[in-house]
A and B are shown apart, each in its own frame.
Chain A
Amino acid sequence: MTPGVVVAILLFGLATVALVLRRDLVFKLLALGMINGSTVLLLVSLPRAHGTTAPIGVGVLPTTAADPFPQAYVLAAIVINFALLALALVFVMLLVERYHTTDARRIERLVREEEER
């Protein structure tokens, strides 16, 4: 357990609590971004657990270089996070235009009132 892994786990827990408890949709998206950041930190710091160096450079010895495969997964995490946040922000913008609030509970109440009418 390197410090990076510990920080990643703490950040993940904090962001999950924020994602569940905050009622503001924009804050929920920020928490999602934080979860992605903690995942990236975990993927980068896990292969360095044994004091290895970065797997970049010509003269790096095979025994001291970190495994590059987990670091390659970071790219997928970043791209999917970008796609998720961009689309979610669009939906939040459309919701705000219709209901004039970013409060999730208020939007749910307004939707329910509309359905009853």
Chain B
Amino acid sequence: MWKVIVAPLAAAAFCAVVLLRFGGGGETAAEAVRAIALTEATGAANRVAAVVLDVRLYDTLFELFAFAMAVLGVRLFLRTSRVASAETIAESHVVRRAAQVLLPPALLLGIYLAIFGHLSPGGGFSGGAVAATGLLLVTVALGADALARRFRDCWLERLEGLVLVVILVLVLLPITWAAPVASNALPPGRPGRLPSGGLIPIYSLLISLKVFAGAWAVIHYFVRHRGEV
């Protein structure tokens, strides 16, 4: 039994030694200059967004594929098994009303995070996750049926596939005219303004839609499988 305790502790100690020896020492002035040049090159005030959606756009594309694969896996494994009987627990009046009140602000905050992702902390993934949290709240309070009534099943599933195809085309089409990254298809604009950063806000919006639809599908399949949250 002592081995299973000592081994992780030894691994953690090794990590600590490596970090003490090498961690945080690699930042040079050249890297910092490159970081500020990112804003001028892409027009995005948020340099992390500039890295994620411009310099490493293909990496983000494959992250989106990983997300889509997870949603597909959940759908595949839960669709074939039984569908639970749709018996809903009667939540209290306060919880139900609170969920109804909190859903619009959650959706609004998600859209805000997606649209302003290139100016301030946020972005497509977090925006979609926040909006999907609103959906989870409604599912907890009102049950799966209310959610299914509010968002039609087939409609969101089609949206999910369509958004993935649109992003794929937007990312891969510029290869045909030998532009390495599609963000330069639109002018970078003035950093700090809302319409800046080229295609970065559009990518953010599409990714948030994809994450929203995917998270909704995961919630929906889990709830439909169990019958309750």
Contact = CB atoms under 8 A, between A and B. Distances in A.
Interface of A: 1, 5, 9, 12-13, 16-17, 20-21, 46-47, 49-50, 54-58, 60-63, 65, 67-69, 71-72, 75-76, 78-80, 82-84, 86-87, 89-91, 93-94, 97
Interface of B: 4-5, 7-9, 11-12, 15-16, 19-20, 23-24, 27, 29, 31-33, 35-36, 38-39, 45-48, 50-52, 56, 59-60, 63-64, 66-67, 69-71, 73-74, 77-78, 81, 120-121, 123, 125, 191-192, 218, 222, 225-226
A57 to B, nearest CB: 6
A5 B23 contact: yes
Contacts of A58: 39, 45, 191-192
A17 B1 CA distance: 12
A13 B11 CA distance: 8
B15 A12 contact: yes
B32 A63 contact: yes
A46 B23 contact: yes
A80 to B, nearest CB: 6
9 contacts: A5-B19, A13-B8, A17-B5, A21-B5, A58-B191, A62-B33, A65-B35, A68-B35, A68-B47
B192 A56 contact: no
B12 A56 contact: no
A21 B4 contact: yes
Contacts of A78: 125
Contacts of B16: 9
Contacts of A55: 35, 46-48
B34 to A, nearest CB: 9
B51 A17 contact: no
A3 B47 CA distance: 24
Q: Is the interface of B mostly helix, strand, loop or mixed?
A: helix
Contacts, number: 129
A64 B119 CA distance: 18
Nearest to A87: B73
B120 A56 contact: yes
Contacts of A72: 48, 51-52, 56
Contact of B70 (A12, A67, A75, A86): A86
A82 B67 contact: yes
A53 to B, nearest CB: 11
B47 A56 contact: yes
A11 B143 CA distance: 35
B196 to A, nearest CB: 10
Contacts of B81: 94, 97
Contacts of B192: 58
Contacts of B63: 75-76, 79-80
Counting from the closest, the 7 A-B pairs by CB-CB distance are A83-B70, A49-B24, A13-B12, A16-B8, A62-B36, A72-B51, A68-B47
Given A5-B24, A61-B36, A72-B56, 12 more contacts: A1-B23, A13-B8, A16-B11, A50-B27, A58-B191, A58-B192, A60-B36, A62-B32, A67-B32, A83-B66, A83-B73, A84-B70
